[in-house]
Amino acid sequence: MSRSAHPAGPRHGDVLPEGHYAAPPADLNALDPKVWSATVERGTADGIVSVAGLDVLTLAERFGTPAYILDEADFRARCRAWQDAFSHLDADVYYAGKAFLSRAVVRWLHEEGLSVDVCSGGELTVALSAGMPAGRIALHGNNKTRAELEYAVKSGVGHVVVDSFEELARLSWIAHEQGVRQRILLRVTVGVEAHTHEFIATAHEDQKFGFSLTGGDAAEAVRRALTLDGVELAGIHSHIGSQIFDMAGFEVAARRVVGLLAQVKAEHGVELPEIDLGGGLGIAYTSEDDPQGPQEIATALTQIVRRECAAEGLAVPRLSVEPGRAIVGPTAFTLYEVGTIKPLEGLRTYVSVDGGMSDNIRTALYDAEYSVALVSRASAAEPMLSRVVGKHCESGDIVVRDAFLPADLAPGDLLAVPATGAYCRSMASNYNHALRPPVVAVRDGQARVIVRRETEEDLLRLDMG
Ligand SMILES: Cc1ncc(COP(=O)(O)O)c(C=O)c1O
Ligand SMILES: N[C@@H](CCCC[NH3+])C(=O)O
């Protein structure tokens, strides 16, 4: 989202300080298809927003607020788009479960032909319990516990992405004890400064993930992996970060990973058959964001891998990708009810909703930007510079930092924040003993709770008194 360094000046009683929106959108009732899921529309007669044919008033009535409303048809369509973009290649699409995982989602992934990447024993349990074949599961993590490694090997996961020397030795021993050879990839840090928030960039040198390519750890990890009898080294993995729009980082990563394959061939006479270039493709949170589609990404990545392999005299390896956000992010919105409205003359209006940082930590954690719309009715009122905040005891409890909402907004109105499918429910907390909201899947006029709302009994069950 572009923010103006030169504010447009006072507007509707609000002064726009530096760094805030320059101007309200032309039509506050418009829903930009870039940020809303595919079946969302505003009724032309009543102005009420619906998704999959279900209006938000009915959804709020049936399921309460806040609630994540997930558009199943859109989710499946995105899975198919990724699958189609990569399927004609020798390629696998692993959905990154950390973005949002539930058993229903795992079944959809299975039906659509995707694999899944998990990064904990808990995620592995969800994937397995919903029937994902173990061979189509990859296990990640920079500090997998011994128990998690044992569980993964015993379950027969397709591969473990090894992140450290300690883990390499540990995993080999565990697999040896279980009498198997575990297929692995080695995660390397390729030294790319991804253009994203510092906390979600993962391929620069100074961070916790992976074996450094430039420092020589990656080559050393290959040497050790090739001598260990508990592991079978299948290839190299790189993930440069998340919410990235610029393909240049992926291209550099692909080039460096292929460079390592060439080095491995030269040193060991071994051609590793697989590379995984991770996830990280950005989505539109606001109308200003311009993400690439899976087809463009598939084309760019395969071109570069093929070119580099040809230059190095290598056979083209099997390619995997791990999109999380790009699949689930745009498919859901969070539905909130407005509770209080506090206009601050000369500043902005604080609009408090019935959720907050417990259901969306991304704004506080990454300064993430979101859009928001009044969805329970249309309004012809003037735009009002607003900040949508939650109900938690923190002034950083912000859901949407800067937004224009209609000036006739009132308690009881419903707001929806789009593009909350990824890293919102999965990073939700019980702060202030908030009850984590449900995830309601909607499709063809039907709604189904796929993750139920927490109850106070859930909270008390963990409290040993
Ligand atoms: C190893 C790995 N793969 C895939 C992903 C998915 O990223 P995204 O949801 O941005 O596609 C992540 C998260 O950044 C990750 O750490
Ligand atoms: N949780 C982050 C992304 C990190 C992905 C995992 N490596 C986000 O909300 O953007």
197, 198, 423, best to mutate for ligand 2 pocket (most atoms within 8 Å of CB): 423
Q: Is the CB of 183 under 6 A from ligand 2?
A: no
* pLDDT at position 186 over 90: yes
Binding residues for pyridoxal 5'-phosphate: 280, 322-325, 423
Average pLDDT on 59-82 reads 98
Strands (E), 280-382: 318-321, 332-344, 348-353, 373-374
For the residues 419-436, what does the mean pLDDT come to?
A: 98
Q: Please determine, for residue 156, whether its predicted confidence score (pLDDT) is greater than 70.
A: yes
Q: Which of 154, 157, 111, 152 is nearest to 130 (CA)?
A: 111
- pLDDT top residue among 192 and 184: 184
- Predicted pLDDT at 8: 38
Give phi and psi for 458, each to the nearest 5: -60, -45
Confidence at residue 304, expressed as pLDDT on a 0 to 100 scale: 92
Q: What is the pTM of this model?
A: 0.94
- Residues 87-102 have a mean pLDDT of 92
101 CA to centre of ligand 1 in angstroms = 13
Indicate which residue's Cα is closest to atom 5 of ligand 1: 279
ipTM entry: 0.98
Instruction: Write the DSSP string, 208-260.
Output: SSSEESTTSHHHHHHHHHHH-TTEEEEEEE---BSSB--THHHHHHHHHHHHH
pLDDT at residue 81 tops 90: yes
Q: Whose CA is nearest to atom 1 of ligand 2?
A: 423
For the stretch 283-342, pLDDT in tens is 999 999 999 999 999 999 999 999 999 999 999 999 999 999 999 999 999 999 999 999
Q: Which of 79, 119, 309, 393 is catalytic?
A: 393
User: pLDDT value at position 9?
Assistant: 36
Contacts of 88 (CB under 8 A, 6+ apart): none
Q: What is the distance in A from the centroid of ligand 2 to the CA of 128?
A: 23
What is the tens place of the pLDDT at every residue in 372-406? Answer: 999 999 999 999 999 999 999 999 999 999 999 99
- Ligand 1 pocket residue status of 279, Cβ below 6 Å: yes
CA of 425 to the centre of ligand 2 (A): 12
DSSP classification of residue 285: S
Q: How far is the CA of 241 from the centre of ligand 1 (A)?
A: 7
- The ligand minimizing its distance to the Cα of 116 is 1
Query: Helix 294-312 and helix 72-87: axis angle, to 10°?
Result: 20
How far is it, in rounded angstroms, from Cα 167 to Cα 163?
7
Query: Stretch 452-459: mean pLDDT, rounded?
Result: 97
Tell me which of 3 and 199 has the higher pLDDT: 199
> Is the pLDDT score of 17 beyond 70?
no
Amino acid sitting at position 179:
G
| Ordered domains of the chain (ranges, CATH) | 40-71+330-462 (2.40.37.10), 140-323 (3.20.20.10)
pLDDT in tens, 99-155: 999 999 999 999 999 999 999 999 999 999 999 999 999 999 999 999 999 999 999
